[in-house]
Amino acid sequence: MSAYSPNVIVLLSNAAYSRNCLMTIRGCRRAGNYTGDIVVLVDDEMPDDFLEEAEQFGAIIRHYDPIDIEPILSKIREHPFTCTDGRELTKQIQWQKLNIFDVYFKQWEKIFYMDAGMHVMGDIAIFFDLVRTGIVLAHCDDFPEYSANLAGQFDRLSQPGTFKELSEKYRLDRQCFQTGILLFESSMVGPTTVREIMDLAYRYPISRTNEQGILNLYFCESLRQVPIYTGGKFLYDYWERFGHTRNEYLLLKYPIT
């Protein structure tokens, strides 16, 4: 959108999420007061009306190279998960989120990924101000109790040997972070980053949350909680905290008020 923007917002969408994605693009531009670059990662089946409207809002459309998840799916079919909400089969597009770590994005300094369908209620410039070198900002997955941990992201019983190896190599008693929003400097992206993440996914094909569990492994020492409340506003939650309304937020995934 600009001759040079140091920041970029990245969204991921397929045809099923196209209307939600447009809502988020409009929200970034309007309520979010964001004038920098927006890149939308899409497959080859996006409807023409989506592409036209996204471009009217200054979005850059990038067709991603599909990440091969068949080795993961074949293991899951061979050893079905024992504890699951089914997303390992119904939300396979989540794996394509790993394209945000492609070297293509090194042309920007700060990267702000948000899920398509995110509700934007206020100025989002503050998010970029929070980014620090070597840190991935995200949101803990288990607010407000913060009692769950990374172990719960993985199926223990379908491939017990794999889980045993995982638990011996990684600390699974640490907090788990959502991947609905991710903020980081492009300096953390290298030519082998996506391959390294996928090597983990192939080695441990037991993530109940698709890419989320694997990204928590890969960035385990770098993940930090995005500030909860700054400048008189909650920055982000999955839905409103008890006793609060959407008007008190900058971003919400699923507002209930």
The whole-number pLDDT of residue 3 equals 58
Average pLDDT in the 226-254 region?
95
Cα distance between residue 232 and residue 247, in whole Å? 11
Cα distance between residue 246 and residue 249, in whole Å? 5
pLDDT(4) > 80? no
pLDDT band at 241 (very low <50, low <70, confident <90, very high): very high
pLDDT(9) > 60? yes
The whole-number pLDDT of residue 154 equals 97
Q: Domain map of the chain by residue range?
A: 7-252
Cα distance between residue 214 and residue 67, in whole Å? 14
> Cα–chain-centroid distance for residue 217?
14
Average pLDDT in the 119-124 region?
97
pLDDT band at 142 (very low <50, low <70, confident <90, very high): confident
The whole-number pLDDT of residue 2 equals 52
**Average pLDDT score, the chain:** 95
Q: Supply the pTM of this predicted model.
A: 0.96
pLDDT band at 141 (very low <50, low <70, confident <90, very high): confident
pLDDT band at 143 (very low <50, low <70, confident <90, very high): low
Domain 7-252 superfamily per CATH = Spore Coat Polysaccharide Biosynthesis Protein SpsA; Chain A (3.90.550.10)
pLDDT(146) > 90? no
Cα distance between residue 159 and residue 65, in whole Å? 29
The whole-number pLDDT of residue 124 equals 97
User: Which two three-digit tokens encode residue 88?
Assistant: 């390992």
User: Which two three-digit tokens encode residue 231?
Assistant: 């400048």
pLDDT band at 95 (very low <50, low <70, confident <90, very high): very high
